[in-house]
Amino acid sequence: MLITVLMIILGSVPLQPFSQPASQELFNLESTVLELANRSTYVLGPGDIVSVVVEGGSSQILLSAGVSPWMQCTVGGDGYLSVSGIGAVNVNGITIDEAQISLQRKASGYYPSIHVTLSLIEPRMLRVNVGGMINQPGTYQLTALNRVSDAVLMAGGISTFGSRRGTMYSDCGDTLCIDLNIHPGSVSFVSNPFLTNNAGIIIHVCENPVYLLSTANAMETRELQPLDDFESLLARMGGVSGNISLLDCRIIRDETRIPVWDQEEGFLSTELLPGDTIIFVSLKDSIMVGGAVGVPGSVPYNPESTVRDYIVSAGGPVNMAGSGITVHRNGREAELDENVEDSHLLPGDVVNVNYNWFNRNSVLISLVTSVISIGITIYAISN
């Protein structure tokens, strides 16, 4: 009878907001703005820690019933979320939005004018087994917010001859396909499911492989799809790190070197075959300055800078510097149309400031001086 009277009173009397500290209001605001997970896709389970917020605060009557303006709750091992003053609702296997609807329905049965909001504070921990073509197979601890790609990264990444495809076996017997190739339209993984507790991830061996070799001598393999060419493979890879010179990249097939880029036509549509090797050549984004300068070494490339600017950036000419400056490009002396000091360079060029004649020939001068000195000494002794 007392509960019935209390519900009638709550239904007829507007709830007066209970004042809460400014810090609590700020926390509520951050909980709304900084959502950890997608509310419509994240599936709750035992171990998830959530917050329950009563919008507008709690009245004195709600407080006396055990309903606070902000409550932190943990989903129990049975999948039920128990909220003080409201009761328990089963949230196992449903999304945050669906759980909020269930909790709201439960709360409205006791307090008709109440409105609650449910948010994830901390995801549950999971144990995942990662194996197959992985650098460091084993069991790893992650959270329910992590996906297969996170587990693969934690396990040291895919090994040299591993595919980007595999299988995830869930604890309940479900089998999910994994495809960590990049979808060109969305620039995201083709199939990168969320992890489940005690799931097993197996990365397959690469079939129909093409071998990729960078200038850093790092080799990896990629699985070819029908009618793949260099451009489509590059799109599925999501690009290549570094400043790549497409003009210098080559497909190695038997003893033939096939270009992948034409200065006028762009990408060349040469179909890739299993066993091909693609060499990626990086374009250096710096200028090497050496010789008679204050601080010889690498200077960052700037398309607006001239040879004179790079020399100044390297500390400027020293006292022993001569008047000559040479620029080498791809191992050969570059043919510059204008005055060398006013010329604009290309990434990877090497600038050398020549020493003056006396410093360039110091060894020869020292040798000649020594010979003359010895000759004078012998002449003096013989006479």
The one-character DSSP state at 273 is -
**Of residues 95 and 215, more confidently modeled:** 95
For 57, 96, 239, 380, the CA distances from 84, given in Å and listed in that order, are 15, 19, 52, 114
**CA dihedral sign, ordered 240, 245, 246, 251:** negative
In CATH, what is the architecture of 209-279?
A: Roll (3.10)
pTM for the whole thing? 0.65
The hierarchical CATH code for the domain 2-122 is 3.30.1950.10
pLDDT tens-digit readout, 172-214 = 889 999 999 999 888 899 999 999 999 999 999 999 999 998 7
pLDDT band at 11 (very low <50, low <70, confident <90, very high): very low
d(CA 321, CA 292): 5
Tell me the CATH number for domain 125-205: 3.10.560.10
360 compared with 221, residue with greater pLDDT: 221
SS3 for 70-109 is EEEEECCCCCEEEECCCEEEECCCCEHHHHHHHHHHHHHC
CB atoms within 10 A of CB 360: 15
95 DSSP 8-state letter: B
Which residues are paired to 300 by β-bridges? 286
What is the per-residue pLDDT across 346-368, written as a single tens digit (0 to 9) for each? 877 889 888 876 555 566 667 77
- Residue spans of the domains in the chain: they are 2-122, 125-205, 209-279, 295-360
